[in-house]
Amino acid sequence: MAIVEVSGVSKHFRIPSVRRDTLREHVLDLFRPREWQVLRVLDSIDFQVERGETVGIMGRNGSGKSTLLKIISGIYQPDAGRVVARAPITPILELGVGWNPQLDAIDNIYLLGTVMGLSLRELDGMIDEILAFAELERFANLKLQHYSSGMASRLAYSVAFKAVSEILVLDEIFAVGDAGFRARCEERFQALCEAGHTVLIVSHDTDVIEKFCTRAILLEGGKVLLEGAAAGVCGRYLELLTDGAHHVPA
């Protein structure tokens, strides 16, 4: 039995046709009916993920990849269809949400770690390892408001990698940090795969998808355009990028 089943999942968002930025605009338009545009992001998505499988999700910007991950992770509810997950999910998506910039790195590790399901006792034994993985030992007592975005992202990844449930959902995991940090992320990710974790990973990097995924799914316009071997999906994705470049006006 599949560990994740996505059946007929659809999602749309309503976008106001006219922006109201000032108080005057809101007051003047108070009694006018507001017009909306419907943006259909996902349209009847179907696929399954087997236990222990690593599946890549690819697609051009705006194809619905991140929205799909958020629905699978329970952050968004679908308008139609359903997602069945037969094990706990750890989403590593918008890292750093929940940080308190007035606290230092150690306090924020406790804060984010507990949000991700770790106990204070577990975190007590992980602090040094988390800081070392992120190469932030020297900045452990520095408030996060003084961190660069890259430093904060490294810290968030380091915490998230210690809070992994049976199913791991990742969005552009190797797009942050220098070469050394990316190499450590790849090593940790590989270890998780070898330990039997089920992984769904979104990436624009064909090398990442071909290296780690046996199967991949290509989204285009909110629909599944292709599902199959990672190499074939990566090739079709590159063709889409090339076709799109050819249609850009000079």
pLDDT at 162: 87
Using the predicted structure, report yes or no on whether residue 217 has a pLDDT greater than 80: yes
Say which CATH class 4-88+165-246 falls into.
alpha beta
pTM score? 0.81
Burial of residue 233 (CB within 10 Å: 0-12, 13-18, 19+) is: buried
| Percentage of residues in the chain having pLDDT higher than 90 | 54
pLDDT at 248: 44
Positive or negative CA dihedral for 141, 144, 148, 151?
positive
Least confident of 22-31, 106-115, 147-156, 229-238: 22-31
Q: How far apart are the C-alpha atoms of 199 and 237, rounded to whole Å?
A: 20
The chain-wide mean pLDDT, for the chain, equals: 87
* Strands of 75-222, DSSP E: 80-85, 89-92, 167-171, 198-202, 215-220
Enumerate the domain spans of the chain: 4-88+165-246, 99-153
pLDDT-derived band at 39 (thresholds 50, 70, 90) equals confident
**What Å distances lie between residue 184 and 20, 157, 190, 193, 250, CA to CA?**
46, 11, 10, 14, 41
Q: Which of 39-53, 81-95, 165-179 has the highest mean pLDDT?
A: 39-53
Using the predicted structure, report yes or no on whether residue 87 has a pLDDT greater than 80: yes
pLDDT-derived band at 21 (thresholds 50, 70, 90) equals low
Using the predicted structure, report yes or no on whether residue 233 has a pLDDT greater than 50: yes
